[in-house]
């Protein structure tokens, strides 16, 4: 708890669906007040807010372009005004556009760099300035950085940048009692992952893990909840939440 009367406060970017929604709901179940960020689909964000409330937390919708430093600053302003401060930032927002390196359009590459790299930088910068001592910053990467799968080159490159940013920021926050970690999911049953993949491709992905299934958003949310709460001695790490995929 931040004090005797106020719950811990979290901001979850990309909370309107998939992993972001599961994370927001899980933090709500931990008793947190959750800033539910969305970029465009308010209806889906409202469904996430309902899930947070049903789980026992509080919710407040915030919207903005995560790559725009002014928009992100405004989101923090809103949460600080409403709840008094922010303790946890979970940055799940990102996009994935797959293509062989030789065929990827530069417009698509630039979109991923803006959202995945600049967005992570902007959110991490604001979080580092404004998260209360005793808090946690959790970024999102991907196990494909390590797996080096064909067609994932540009996407993996953007997530490799997030890995580097996280490891360095953890050291820069020395003395603040703020942990900084990255969660790197493996294949997870979300629209982002499943879109455009054949059933054969999905089955092949399932076989890559010893558990022979895809991850579920709730699997990832469990890892985030640990890093956001009791895991105070895990810091400056890339946590591979992927069921043992190698």
For residue range 135-162, list pLDDT tens digits in order. Answer: 999 999 999 999 999 999 999 999 999 9
Contact 225, 27 (CB under 8 A): yes
pLDDT at 6: 63
Does 152 qualify as catalytic in the annotation?
A: no
pLDDT at 46: 97
Location of structure tokens 């399932």 = 206
Burial of 40 (0-12, 13-18, 19+ CB in 10 A): exposed
Please list the ranges in the chain whose pLDDT falls under 70: 1-6
Q: Which helix (H) or strand (E) holds 55?
A: helix 42-55
CATH number of 9-241: 3.40.50.720
pLDDT at 246: 73
Q: How far apart are CA 132 and CA 80, in angstroms?
A: 11
Could you tell me the residue ranges of all domains in the chain? 9-241
SS3 of 162, please?
A: helix
Location of structure tokens 């401060």 = 85
Contact 215, 185 (CB under 8 A): yes
Q: How far apart are CA 44 and CA 63, in angstroms?
A: 12
pLDDT at 7: 85
DSSP 167-216: HHHHHHTTTS--EEEEEEE-SBSSHHHHTT--HHHHHHHHHTSTT-S-B-
Write down the catalytic residue from 38, 152, 155, 240.
Answer: 155
């Amino acid at each position: 708890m931040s004090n005797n009367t106020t719950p811990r406060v979290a901001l979850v970017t990309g909370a309107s669906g998939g992993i972001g929604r599961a994370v927001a709901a899980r933090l709500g179940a931990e008793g947190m007040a959750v800033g539910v960020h969305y970029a465009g689909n308010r209806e889906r964000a409202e469904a996430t807010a309902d899930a947070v409330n049903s789980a026992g937390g509080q919710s407040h919708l915030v919207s903005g372009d995560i790559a725009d430093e002014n928009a992100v600053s405004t989101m923090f302003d809103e949460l600080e005004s409403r709840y008094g401060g922010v303790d946890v930032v979970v940055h799940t927002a990102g996009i994935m556009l797959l293509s062989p390196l030789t065929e990827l359009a530069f417009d698509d590459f630039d979109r991923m760099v803006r959202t995945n790299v600049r967005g992570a930088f902007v959110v991490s910068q604001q979080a580092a300035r404004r998260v209360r001592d005793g808090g946690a910053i959790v970024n999102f990467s991907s196990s494909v950085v390590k797996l080096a799968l064909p067609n994932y080159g540009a996407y993996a490159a953007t997530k490799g940048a997030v890995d580097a940013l996280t490891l360095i920021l953890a050291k820069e926050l020395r003395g603040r009692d703020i942990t900084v970690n990255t969660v790197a999911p493996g294949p997870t049953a979300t629209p982002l992952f499943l879109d455009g993949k054949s059933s054969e491709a999905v089955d092949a992905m399932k076989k890559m893990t010893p558990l022979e299934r895809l991850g579920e958003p709730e699997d990832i949310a469990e890892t985030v909840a640990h890093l956001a709460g009791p895991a105070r001695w895990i810091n400056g790490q890339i946590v591979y939440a992927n069921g043992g995929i190698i």
